[in-house]
Amino acid sequence: MRARKKAGIVSTGKALPVVRLTNYDLEYIVETSDEWITARSGIKERRIISGEETNSSLSEIAARIALERAGLKPEEIDILIVATVTPDQPLPSSACLVQARLNAHRAAAFDLAAGCTGFLYGLTVGQQFIETGAAKNILLIGVDTLSPVVDWTDRRTCVLFGDGAGAVVMQPVEEGRGILASKMYSDGSKAELLEIPAGGSKRPATLKTLQERGHYIKMNGPEIFKFAVKIMVESTLNVLEMCGKKTSDLTYIAPHQANVRIINAACKRLGLSEEQVLINIQRYGNMSSATIPVVLDEALEEGKIKQGDLLALVSFGAGLTWGAAVLNW
């Protein structure tokens, strides 16, 4: 029997909206302060879409950069996955709009909705197609434009989120490289901890849903905080064990950037030092599915991540969902 192929990330790209919203700007929008936001989340500013910027336009820019770096033409893409919960419109998928923008006409394009864990779900899904040999070139985009669905009158949520897109090209890689282990997890019994209650087919838009502000994100912050710290530790240890590695083997961890306090608490429990944790939340806030590809892209541009480094990726989000992976870069 031939050994199964391994799947890896061969290039990255990102796109961020032009407009910056600082904590000081937010002081004019809700009753808050730079001091509170910085101390409780580590966030200093975030990007917000404006003008012609949309979910699919940011995706296109990030994708073109990743494709160029991989030396790949759009028509060579076999599968185009857009991990997002904020597509341009309910129908069709954002992936099909991105396909048209890129003219990636050979690709099968679909969206994948797994809250802020979307990128890691997409990575695991893409990995299966490559390992079985069903696909060679996969374009995976983690993108979210949450600013239109954030309640700008709710200081408990609006200070935390931002917009952005990150893209990666996945291809077969040599044995021992790429994704060594990955796992997806969900617990739908905790759905109400983070939701947009209206706007779907159960409660379509009506005057009442608008008046109740039902089209905006509702979140139970403290419950998610506890959950996140716990599962980040558990799932990271779990994927490390799956591939016979230990936390002491890790060069870096690229965690979902939701709150620096969650990241610090989890990494302390994992016994990782500050230098091992890839962080950019201070500049972008929580960009949902985009956080991990963007933080990877920046670490690569800064020359931090080198060939042979061992990386753990871990994320959590609405659903609730969570996921983790170990990659040998």
Partner 1 sequence: MEVFEKVKSLISEQLDVDEEQLDMDTTFEDIDADSLDVVELVMALEEEFNLEISDEEVEKIKTVGDIVSYIENQIS
Ligand X SMILES: CC(C)(COP(=O)(O)OP(=O)(O)OC[C@H]1O[C@@H](n2cnc3c(N)ncnc32)[C@H](O)[C@@H]1OP(=O)(O)O)[C@@H](O)C(=O)NCCC(=O)NCCS
Write out the catalytic residue numbers. Answer: 116, 256, 286
Task: Report residue 268 as tokens.
Answer: 């302390």
Whose CA is closest to 169, among 77, 56, 87, 252? 77
- To ligand X, the closest distance from the beta carbon of 146 in angstroms equals 10
CB 164 within 8 A of CB 284: yes
Determine which residue in the list 106, 156, 230, 304 makes contact with ligand X, applying CB under 6 A: 156
- To ligand X, the closest distance from the beta carbon of 122 in angstroms equals 16
189 versus 201: smaller Cβ distance to partner 1: 189
Q: Is residue 155 part of the contact set for ligand X (CB under 6 A)?
A: yes
Choose the contact partner of 32 out of ligand X, partner 1, none; CB within 5 to 8 A by kind: ligand X
Q: Is residue 36 part of the contact set for ligand X (CB under 6 A)?
A: yes
Sheet holding 310-317, edge to edge: 178-186, 321-328, 310-317, 252-255
The DSSP 8-state label assigned to residue 114 in this structure reads B
How many residues interact with partner 1 (rule CB under 8 A)? 9
- To ligand X, the closest distance from the beta carbon of 8 in angstroms equals 26
Phi-psi region of 257 (alpha: psi -120 to 50; beta: other; left: phi over 0): beta
Instruction: Give the number of other CB atoms < 10 A from CB of residue 208.
Output: 10
Determine which residue in the list 55, 59, 145, 259 makes contact with ligand X, applying CB under 6 A: 259
How many residues interact with ligand X (rule CB under 6 A)? 20
Determine which residue in the list 73, 155, 183, 261 makes contact with partner 1, applying CB under 8 A: 261
- To ligand X, the closest distance from the beta carbon of 164 in angstroms equals 14
Instruction: Give the number of other CB atoms < 10 A from CB of residue 29.
Output: 13
CB 266 within 8 A of CB 232: yes
Stretch 201-240 residues interacting with partner 1 (CB under 8 A):
222, 225-226, 229-230
Whose CA is closest to 317, among 135, 155, 194, 178? 194
Determine which residue in the list 168, 265, 287, 326 makes contact with partner 1, applying CB under 8 A: 265
Q: Is residue 187 part of the contact set for partner 1 (CB under 8 A)?
A: no
Determine which residue in the list 40, 69, 183, 215 makes contact with partner 1, applying CB under 8 A: 40
Residues 111, 76, 80: CA angle, nearest 5 degrees:
5
Using alpha carbons, list the distances in angstroms from residue 76 to 61, 83, 135.
17, 20, 11
71 versus 222: smaller Cβ distance to partner 1: 222
Q: Provide the binding-site residues for ligand X, judged by CB under 6 A.
A: 32, 36-37, 40-41, 116, 155-156, 159, 194, 219, 221-222, 224-225, 228, 258-259, 286, 317
